[in-house]
């Protein structure tokens, strides 16, 4: 009976196929299969890597701010 269900499912997916070859059933089946391959991080990894990202974003934003302030000051010295 399991084989018949698989065949019926396949036939149903084929019937849903549009003129360009896209099948909504196959699309969602593919999504499900890909999510099963995902290795989700542990809570410790998630917190650690999130902290690293926040630190790097803060450092980058601070550096950009300081460079901007320097160029503003330099422009005022030259043109002001």
pLDDT of residue 63: 98
Q: Is the Cβ–Cβ distance between 49 and 41 less than 8 Å?
A: yes
Report the distance separating Cα 80 and Cα 76, nearest Å. Answer: 5
Helix, strand or coil, per DSSP, at residue 71: helix
Q: How do the pLDDT tens digits run along the chain, 80 residues long?
A: 555 655 555 555 555 555 677 889 999 999 999 999 999 999 999 999 999 999 999 999 999 999 999 999 999 999 97
In which element (H, E) is residue 41 found? none
pLDDT of residue 2: 56
């Amino acid at each position: 009976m399991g084989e018949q269900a698989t065949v019926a499912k396949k036939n149903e997916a084929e019937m849903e196929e549009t003129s360009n070859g896209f099948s909504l059933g196959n699309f969602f089946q593919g999504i499900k299969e890909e999510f099963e391959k995902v290795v989700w991080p542990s809570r410790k990894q998630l917190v650690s890597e999130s902290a690293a990202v926040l630190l790097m974003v803060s450092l980058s934003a601070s550096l950009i701010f300081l460079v901007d302030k320097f160029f503003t000051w330099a422009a005022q010295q030259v043109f002001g």
